[in-house]
Structure 1
Amino acid sequence: MLEKVTPSTTEVPPATGPQDPASEQQNGVRIAEAVTKSWSKNTLIQVYICMWLMYFVRALNGSLTSNLAPYITSDFSNHSLLPVIQIVVSIMSAACTMPIAKLLNLWDRTIALSLMLVVSIIGLIVMACCHNITIYCVAQAFITVGLTGLIFSLDVLTADTSTAQDRALAFAFTSSPYIIMAFAGAPLSASFNEVNWRWAYGTIAILLPVVTVPLIIIWELAKRKAQETETLTRIHEKRSLAESIHYYIIEFDIIGILLLIAGFSLFLLAFALAGSQPQKWHSTHIICMIVIGGVTIIVFAAYERLFASKPLVPYNLLISRTVTFTCLLNLTYVIAADCWASYFTSFLQVVYHVSLTEAGYVVAISNLISPLWLVGVGFLVRWTGRFKWLLLCAIPVYLLAIGLMIYFRSPGHSIGYICLCEVLIGLGTGTIIALEQTAVTTASEHNDYASMLALLGWVGSIGGAIGNSISGAIWTNTLPQKLREYLPEEMKSQWKEINDSLYVQLSYEVGSPTRVAIEKAYAVSQRNMLIAGIAFMALTIVWVVGIKDVRVKGRDNKGRVLF
C-alpha cells in the first residue's frame, strides 16, 4: 500500500521509451494495469468472489434501509422527512464521486477501498447508536458516501478486468447479489424491526470489513509480485508538506466540493421543506434557502468553468456525444425513479394492507428481475456487438410500467397489478443501468475509466437529489392537505400526528373512516409523484437517440481479464 504524502510515493510500471503511450497514463491506472497483468486466472476468480461478497453486503444494506427507513423515521416522528434525508445523502454522494475517481487514478485502488471502508464503518456505528433524526441523517450521509465509494471502486475494477464486448456480462455478475436480496431482504428487515432495527446496521458493520479486507490483501500481494518481476517500479516525487497540502486541495477541488454541497443542499432542501412550514413558500427561511442556494450554484458553475485548475467535472469528458447523452439519460432516469420511490413501501403497507415483509417482497421484484435480465442483456450485447438498440427497447418498457402504476395506485385494485409493474420496471432498469456503464467506458480510453464512471455516478447523485426534492415537495404539499380534507371531522385535529408516523397510520383498522381517508390521501400523493416521474422519463427517448451506436467488439483491455 502507498504510504507517504511527503515525500509523496507512487509506483508505476517502468517506462519503455519516450514514445510509450502508457507514459501519459496516471499512476493509479499504471498500477492497475501492472497488477492485472501479474494476476493468474485463479487470482482473478478470487478477486471476483470478493467483489461479489462486497456487492452482497451493499445489497443487504440497501434492502434493510429501504424497508426500515419509514419505521426509523417514524420512531423520531419524522416520517415525512424521508426525501429530505435522501437529498442530503445524494448530494454528499455527488460531492465525493469525482474525488474518489481522482484518488483511484492518482494513487491506487486499495487506498480508495481502505478509506471508504473506514467511512462506511463510522457511519454504520453512528447509525446503530443514533437517537434523533439529525444524527440519523449524518449517519446515512457517511454510509452513503462510504458504500458509494466502495462500489464505485469495484465498478472501476470490473471495467479494468473485462473487455468492452463482455462488460455488460461482468456488471451482470456483480449485480447478481440483488437476486438473493429479493428473497432474503424483506424477512430480514421484518425480523430486525421486531427485535431492534439498530442490530441491522451493527451486523453490516461487522460483515463489511470481513468481505473487504481480503480483496485489499489480494491486491497488495499482486502489487508486490509485480514489483518482484519488475513490472512495477517505485518512484518518489519530492514535495514539502505545504506543497503536498496545496497540491491535493487543488487536485481534489476542495473549494468546488464545498460550493457544490452548500448550493445544492440549500436549494433542493427548500423544495422538500416548504410544505411543512407554516407560511409555506412565503416563509423567510425557504426564500433565503432558495436564493442563497441558487446563487451558490451559479458561483459553483462559474468557479468550475473559470477558476478551478482541476474542475470537479472535467469538461473534456463531455466532448464525446455518447458520454454527454448517456449522462443526460442517467440524470433523467434517476430523477424519474426518485420522484416516487421514497414512500413506496409505506404506500404499499397503507393502501394495500400488506406487512413489511410483503411490501419488501413487492419492491424486491424489480431487484430480482433486473440482475437476472442483465445476464440476457450481456449475452445480447456480446452476440450483436452493439447496445443502443437495447436502450431503445428498454425506455418504452419503463414508461409503460410507470403509466400502469399511475392507473393501479388507487385502493381497490389488486396488488398483483403493482407486481406486474415491478417486473416491467426491473426489465427497464437492468437494461438502462448496465448499458450506461458500458456506453461511457466503451467511448473512453482505459486511463479515463474511473473518471467516466465517476461522471456517470455524479450526475446520478445529482439526479437523486433533484428527484427526492420533487418527491418531498409533492408529499409535503399534498398529503397534509388531503388528510385535512378527507379525515372525519372528529379526527381532523390529529392530521399532523398521522402525517408524521407510519405506526400511527397503520394503527387504524382497515375499512374504518380514518383509514380510508389516509388511503385516499396516499393514493393522490403517489399519483402526483408518478406523474412527475413519467414526465421526466419521457425525455430519455431523446437522450437515447443521441447516443452513438458504438460497436463494442474488438475493444480490449490491457492486462488479464475474466470477462
Structure 2
Amino acid sequence: MRNPFSTKLVTPSEAPVAELDGQSPADKETGLQEPVGDHQDDRHSDSDEDAIDKNAQAGVQKIEAITKVWSRNHLIMAYVFIWIIYFIDAMEQGMGSFLTPYVTSSFNQHSLTSTTNVMAQIIGGVSKLTLAKILDIWGRPQGFLLSGMILTIGLIMMAACVNVEMYAAAQVFYWVGYNGIGYAMIIFIADTSHLKNRGLMLGFISSPYIITTWISSPLAEHVIQGIGWRWGYGVFAIVTPLMCLPLFYLFTYNYVKAKKMGLVIPRKSGRTTWQSIQHYFWEFDVICLLLVMGGFALFLLPFNIYSFQAEGWRSPLVICLIIFGSLMLIGAALWEKYFAPVKFLPWELLTDRTVVGGCVLAAALFVEFYLWAGYFTSFMQVPLNLSITTSGYISNIYTIGSCISSIIFGVLIRWTGRFKWTALYVGVPLTILGVGLMIHFRQPGVNVGYIVMCQIFIAFGGGACVIAEQVAVMAAAAHQHVAVVIAVEGLFANVGGGIGATVAAAIWTGVFPQRLAEYLPAEAMDDFANIYGDIVVQLSYPVGSPTRDAINLAYAAAQRYMLISATAVLAFCIPAVMLWRNIYLKDFKQVKGRVV
C-alpha cells in the first residue's frame, strides 16, 4: 500500500494534502473536479499541487495519471461499470446465502452452515492486505483482475463440490475474490472522488442491493426447485468474469494513454529473478500475513469443533489450538512493530485514534451481524414457517434499508462536511435498539411485523455506521495510504465476521442439539441426527406437531443466546466512535485529476 512511511498523518490543521478545494463554481455545480491548472491544454504540466506524486508507489502514480487523462465520459462509464459489477455480485451473493443451508444439508451437515464461512471470512479479510500491496505496487486494474479470477475459481469449485470440506474450501476462494473485487472498487471510488463526496459515492455503488433484494430469494427458490444449486453457482461462474472485463479494459486503456503522454515513466528494477523474489517477499510482508492468517484460523477453529470432541473445551486439541493461535497473533504484532523491514502502514497511522476507532467499529458491527444472521434464514423457514422467498424479503430488509440509509447519510455528510455525528447519534443507537428488541421478538409464533420492525432499525443504523466508518479511516490518511487503511479496516471487518460466525456456530452446536434432545418426543428420538443435520427434514414435520414444536423451541433457545451476545458486543461501538476526530471534510483535497 505504501512504501514511503515518512508521510505525516493529515489533519484539518496540518499537512500538504489538507488543501482547500480549488473547484470553480461551474465544476461545483456538476460535481466534477477538473485538474487544477492555468488552462486546459496545460493540465499535465501544471502546478506542483496537482502534479503526480513522484514519491508515491507505482500503483498510486498510475491511477493519478489515469485520472489526469481520462475524459468525463470515461469517468461516467467507470461508475456505470462499477454499478453493474456490484449488481451481479449482489445478486449472486444474495442467492448464495440461501443456497448454503441446502448445500450443507445435501451432505447431512446443516449444523455447519455458519462454520463454512469462518475460514473464508478470515482469509478473505487477510487477503485484502496482500491485495492492497498489489494495488499500490503493480496497479489497481491488475489487482481487480486477479480478484475476479479467484472469484470465478471459487464459483466453479462450489458448483462441483462433492462434500462439505470442498464447499468450505470453495468458499475461501469465493470470498477472497468477492471481497477483493469489492475492495478494489472501493479503492477506485477513493481514487476518483473528492473526500467530501466519497460517502455519497460509496452509497451510490451499494444501491444495486436495493434491486437485488427482490431478486435474490425468488432466484434461489427457482434454482433449488429447478436447475439445482450446482447450476445456480455455475451460471454466475460464466457471467461474473464477463461483467468485470469492461472496467478492466477502461482503466487499462487510459493507463496506456497516460503512458504515451509521458505521465508514467517505466522503471527498470535492475534486479535478478532471485532478487525480485526476495524483494517482494519483504515488500508484501509475507511473514506477517502468515502469522495473522494462521493465528486467527487456529484461535477461532476450536469454537467450531469443540462440540465434536469427547472432552469438549478440555480437549488437548482445543487447548493447543487456542494457545498457538494466540501466540501467532502476538508474534504478528511484535514482528510488525519491531522487526518487519517493510511495514504495511506507518505505525503512527496504525495507532491514530480515528483509524483505531473506525476499525473497532467495523469489527464490532460484523461480529454482531454474523452472530444473529448466521441461522436467521433457517429460523424464518422452520419456526416461522415462511417460504424461501418471504424469508429472503425479510432478511434483505437489512440490505435494502442500509443501502438507502447510506445514500441519505452520504448526502448529509457532503452537505455538512462532517461524518462523526451520523454514527454516534444515529447509526449506533438504532443498531443497538434493533438487535436488543430482537431478543424479545425472535420467538416461534411471534408476529412477523415485529421482526420486520427490528430489521428496519438495524438497517438504517447499519447504513449510517458503515458509511461514516469508511469515510473516517480514509480521512485520516494521505492518498498513498488510502488503499491500505481500507484494507486494515476490511481485515477487522472480516475477522469480526469470522468471530461472529464462529461464536454463532459454537452457540448453535452447544445449545441447539442439547435443547432438541430435551424437547423432542420419544417417538422422534430415533431421527435425532437427521433432524439436527438437515433443514429439509426439519421442514418435513407438520406445523403444530409435537416434533415441529420441539424443533421450534430448540431454535428459539439458540437464537436467544446469539442475540444477547450480539447486543453485548454492540456496547463497544459507542467508545469506538467517540475516539474519532471530528474532521471537516471540505478542507481536504486528497486526490488529483478529473474526479467526482
TM > 0.5 fold call: yes
- What's 2:28 paired with? none
Is the aligned partner of 1:491 residue 2:524? yes
1:27–1:107 CA contact under 8 A, matched in 2: yes
Q: Which runs of 5+ in 1 are unaligned?
A: 1-12
- What's 2:26 paired with? none
Alignment of 1:67-78 (within 5 A): 67-78=98-109
Pick the aligned partner of 1:107 from 134, 138, 142.
138
Return the alpha-carbon distance in structure 2 between the equivalents of residues 21 and 230 of structure 1.
12
Alignment of 1:67-466 (within 5 A): 67-195=98-226, 196-312=228-344, 314-392=346-424, 393-466=426-499
User: TM-score w.r.t. structure 2 length?
Assistant: 0.89
Q: Which runs of 5+ in 2 are unaligned?
A: 1-43
Q: Which amino acid aligns with 1:45?
A: I
Return the alpha-carbon distance in structure 2 between the equivalents of residues 427 and 285 of structure 1.
42
2:98–2:377 CA contact under 8 A, matched in 1: yes
Return the alpha-carbon distance in structure 1 between the equivalents of residues 272 and 550 of structure 2.
67
Is the aligned partner of 1:52 residue 2:83? yes
Return the alpha-carbon distance in structure 2 between the equivalents of residues 73 and 258 of structure 1.
29
- What's 1:7 paired with? none
Q: Which amino acid aligns with 1:233?
A: I
- What's 2:560 paired with? 527
Q: Which amino acid aligns with 2:399?
A: N
- 1:478-521 per-residue CA deviation (whole Å, 9 max, x = no partner) reads 00100011111222343222111111111111000000000001
1:441–1:453 CA contact under 8 A, matched in 2: yes
The offset of 1:366, in angstroms, is 1.3
More off after superposition, 260-269 vs 183-192: 260-269
- Aligned sequence identity (%): 38
Return the alpha-carbon distance in structure 2 between the equivalents of residues 355 and 120 of structure 1.
29
Q: Which amino acid aligns with 2:121?
A: S
- What's 2:585 paired with? 552
Return the alpha-carbon distance in structure 2 between the equivalents of residues 498 and 95 of structure 1.
36
The offset of 1:329, in angstroms, is 1.0
Provide closer, same or farther for how the CA distance between residues 558 and 289 of structure 1 changes in structure 2, counting only shifts above 3 A. Answer: closer
The offset of 1:184, in angstroms, is 0.5
- 1:530-555 per-residue CA deviation (whole Å, 9 max, x = no partner) reads 10000000110111111111111132
Q: Which amino acid aligns with 1:396?
A: P
The offset of 1:170, in angstroms, is 0.3
1:97–1:454 CA contact under 8 A, matched in 2: yes
Return the alpha-carbon distance in structure 1 between the equivalents of residues 563 and 436 of structure 2.
8
2:478–2:590 CA contact under 8 A, matched in 1: no
- 1:165-196 per-residue CA deviation (whole Å, 9 max, x = no partner) reads 11111001100110111111110011111120
- 1:301-350 per-residue CA deviation (whole Å, 9 max, x = no partner) reads 33333322234565332232211111111111111111121111001111
Q: Which amino acid aligns with 1:339?
A: L
Return the alpha-carbon distance in structure 1 between the equivalents of residues 480 and 323 of structure 2.
40
- 1:21-46 per-residue CA deviation (whole Å, 9 max, x = no partner) reads 82221111111000011111100111
Pick the aligned partner of 1:500 from 533, 545, 549.
533
Q: Which amino acid aligns with 1:501?
A: D
- 3-state secondary structure, aligned to 1:234: coil
After TM superposition, where is structure 1 displaced by more than 6 Å over at least 4 residues in a row?
13-17
- 3-state secondary structure, aligned to 1:340: helix
- What's 2:510 paired with? 477
Q: Which amino acid aligns with 1:172?
A: G
- 1:342-368 per-residue CA deviation (whole Å, 9 max, x = no partner) reads 111001111110011111111111111
- 3-state secondary structure, aligned to 2:582: coil
Q: Which amino acid aligns with 2:376?
A: F
1:339–1:467 CA contact under 8 A, matched in 2: yes
Number of positions where the alignment pairs a residue of Structure 1 with one of Structure 2: 550
CA-based RMSD of the aligned residues comes to 1.8
- 1:113-146 per-residue CA deviation (whole Å, 9 max, x = no partner) reads 1211111111111111111001101111001001
Provide closer, same or farther for how the CA distance between residues 124 and 82 of structure 1 changes in structure 2, counting only shifts above 3 A. Answer: same
The offset of 1:58, in angstroms, is 1.6
User: TM-score w.r.t. structure 1 length?
Assistant: 0.94
- What's 2:16 paired with? none
Return the alpha-carbon distance in structure 2 between the equivalents of residues 488 and 526 of structure 1.
21
